[in-house]
């Protein structure tokens, strides 16, 4: 598939400097940019078929983690929000199992798309140096979820392939902590997780491209309630060339290191 037919360029002219600047302004001011119908209708359909075809290859994992994605702090009680366990479970088809002719590869490798991402994110972007991490298809099936957390990475790039029918909402609240200033935001983190402070929901339909800054924004994917899975692709990049995910992380999420 030609990259110009993968992206809905009429609605999202990513080669246009002014359009790119407006996308950057939106991301800078809110920490989230949702580009609805970024993918053409044909691309969405073919990615849904592809995702169903490779679904039997998915590695399903389950993790307990805290919102800070750090080892438990023994100086604090287990129930402290710093240590309180969250649960995550999902399936993943890693990069080396994405079909060679997939529109995902074409888009990921398209120079103009890279230039757009670099302009909006204000950093250079490079693919992962390992064979598994760059493009991932994630499956959240009935009862599965991604627990509350802050990202280690400063940005995430995702494509919604199949929005969930019921449950599976992406919930978030921005600026809950300030990692750069060493402020962990325990009170508000606890209030969101325990339900006394209402998070926002980031709506994203089939074919949406989402850029999200999750380092200081607390977020989760709520449990999927229906049999209609949430299928979401993460397009993973680094700001430096030659980076691999650690063997521990690859083993955890992909079940193998090569």
| Residues making contact with Fe ion (CB under 5 A) | 151, 214
Residue 76 structure tokens: 């604090």
Burial of 2 (0-12, 13-18, 19+ CB in 10 A): exposed
Q: Which among ligand AKG, Fe ion, none contacts residue 136 (Cβ within 5 to 8 A by kind)?
A: none
Q: How far is the CB of 92 from Fe ion (least distance, A)?
A: 14
Q: How far is the CB of 110 from ligand AKG (least distance, A)?
A: 22
| Helix (H) or strand (E) run with residue 160 in it | strand 156-162
Rule CB under 6 A: is residue 170 a binding residue for ligand AKG?
A: yes
In sequence order, what DSSP letters do the residues of 138-152 get, joined into one string? EEE-TT-BEEEE--S
Rule CB under 6 A: is residue 221 a binding residue for ligand AKG?
A: yes
Pairing mode, strands 156-162 and 209-212: antiparallel
Question: In this structure, what are the phi and psi dihedrals at residue 50, rounded to the nearest 5 degrees?
Answer: -60, -45
Q: Which among ligand AKG, Fe ion, none contacts residue 6 (Cβ within 5 to 8 A by kind)?
A: none
Rule CB under 6 A: is residue 151 a binding residue for ligand AKG?
A: yes
Rule CB under 6 A: is residue 250 a binding residue for ligand AKG?
A: no
Q: Which is nearer to Fe ion, 89 or 151 (CB)?
A: 151
Question: In this structure, what are the phi and psi dihedrals at residue 107, rounded to the nearest 5 degrees?
Answer: -65, -50
**Which stretches of the chain bind ligand AKG, using CB under 6 A?**
146, 151, 156, 158, 170, 214, 219, 221, 232
């Amino acid at each position: 598939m030609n990259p110009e037919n993968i992206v809905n360029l009429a609605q999202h002219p990513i080669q246009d400097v002014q359009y790119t600047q407006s996308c950057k302004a939106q991301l800078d001011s809110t920490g989230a940019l949702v580009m609805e119908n970024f993918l053409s209708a044909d691309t969405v359909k073919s990615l849904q078929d592809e995702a169903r075809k490779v679904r039997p290859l998915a590695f399903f994992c389950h993790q307990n983690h805290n919102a800070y994605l750090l080892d438990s702090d023994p100086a604090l009680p287990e129930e402290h929000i710093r240590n309180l366990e969250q649960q995550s479970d999902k399936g993943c088809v890693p990069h080396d199992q994405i079909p060679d002719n997939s529109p995902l590869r074409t888009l990921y490798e398209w120079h103009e798309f890279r230039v757009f991402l670099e302009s909006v994110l204000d950093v250079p972007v490079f693919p992962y140096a390992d064979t598994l991490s760059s493009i991932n298809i994630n499956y959240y099936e009935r009862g599965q979820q991604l627990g509350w957390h802050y990202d280690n990475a400063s940005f995430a790039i995702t494509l919604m392939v199949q929005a969930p029918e019921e449950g599976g909402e992406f919930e978030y609240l921005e600026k809950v902590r300030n990692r750069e200033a060493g402020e962990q935001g325990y009170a508000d983190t606890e209030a969101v997780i325990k339900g006394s402070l209402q998070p926002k929901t980031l709506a994203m339909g089939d074919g949406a491209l989402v850029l999200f800054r999750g380092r200081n924004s607390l977020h989760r994917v709520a449990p999927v309630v229906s049999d209609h899975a949430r299928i979401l692709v993460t397009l993973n990049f680094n700001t430096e060339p030659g980076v691999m995910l650690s063997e521990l992380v690859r083993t955890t999420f992909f079940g193998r290191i090569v």
